[in-house]
Amino acid sequence: MSTATLIAPPDAAEPALLPILIAPHAALKAKARTVRSADADTVRALLPRLFATMYQAPGIGLAAPQVGVPLRLAVVDLQPDDTRAPIALINPQVVAASEELATREEGCLSLPGQYADVTRPARVKVRFEDETGARREIEADGLLAACLQHEIDHLDGVLFVDHLSALKRNMILRRLAKELRQKAK
């Protein structure tokens, strides 16, 4: 199936939701390719659907590979004070990270119901393009820093469980597989 077919919205007024891939789907481990100017129409069609899917899940971040689109594109919205504050990240990259680390509990829409403490740089500076093509930078700490790093990891085929010991990672993946089997019954 082509990417254009996958993301063509049936109704522009209400963006259609996208199916979120669940680990261990192979697409979640693949590195996404750089968004190019030729991808502009694809990105324009995909962004509202990514946001709609993330809000419906509900989540605070979603990367294109999580919906089977192998592009370096992610959306984030921490919804501070229950107010939407969407950020579209095209070709994001961490350009600076603090030596100080912070540990936070993380979850993922591609590993539903699974959570673990992940240690990452406490502060990051991320360079990206926004939906208009403008180059931007954002400096973040706390939850936003963790979320940005988590979504950029997805673009590199890395899941939050890949930051854990093999024992913890395998326990979470086995638990997820068991829960999915029980739901399928």
Looking at residue 120, what is its pLDDT?
98
Both structure tokens of 1: 């199936």
Q: Decide: 4 and 39 in contact? Cβ < 8 Å.
A: no
Neighbours of 175 (CB within 10 A): 13
Do the beta carbons of residue 28 and residue 154 sit within 8 Å?
yes
Tell whether the model's pLDDT for residue 91 goes beyond 70: yes
Q: 3-184 has which fold?
A: Peptide Deformylase (3.90.45)
Percent over 90 (pLDDT), the chain: 88
3-class DSSP state of 140: strand
Mean pLDDT across 45-66? 97
Mean pLDDT of the 68-80 span: 96
pLDDT at 7: 42
Closest listed residue to residue 91, CA positions, set 152, 173, 8, 163:
152
Banded pLDDT at 143 (limits 50, 70, 90): very high
Tell me the pTM.
Answer: 0.91
Q: Which position among 129, 137, 151, 179 bears the catalytic label?
A: 151
Q: pLDDT for 93-141, tens place per residue?
A: 999 999 999 999 999 999 999 999 999 999 999 999 999 999 999 999 9
Query: Coil, strand or helix: which one is 91?
Result: strand
Peptide linkage before 58 cis (omega within 30 of 0): yes
Average pLDDT value for residue range 34-52 = 96
Alpha carbon distances (Å) from 125 to 103, 141, 176: 18, 9, 33
Q: What is the pLDDT of residue 14?
A: 76
Residue 151: active-site member: yes
Question: Where do we find the tokens 């950020």?
Answer: 87
